[in-house]
Amino acid sequence: MSNKSPSVTDPLRVLVLCTGNSCRSQMMEFFLRRHGGARVEVASAGSEPHGVNPLTIQVMQEVGIDLSAARSKHLNEFIGQPWDYVITVCDNAAEQCPIFPG
């Protein structure tokens, strides 16, 4: 972790969590990337990841977002990293969410 103080030019760091990291969190991650551009650095993860749902890939393709290379990630990959926002998109993930430093 860097000791550098955040500045107004640093992107907002956003982590999106759900249980499986297969649908909702994946969609939100890529919509935030598309619409936030260089202003946001975003990742998604799950408390029990089990692969990206093929229907999610199909639906996102319909709006011009390619998720074919996306993978489900466990939230443990992101513990210890500073986040400006941690957003849970399901109640189960909120209940299992560890504390993330801001």
As annotated, the active-site residues are 18, 90, 97
Nearest in space to 67 (alpha carbons), one of 35, 25, 102: 25
User: What is the phi-psi region of residue 64: left when phi exceeds 0, alpha when psi lies from -120 to 50, beta otherwise?
Assistant: left
Q: Are 43 and 16 in contact (CB under 8 A)?
A: yes
DSSP H or E stretch at residue 28: helix 24-36
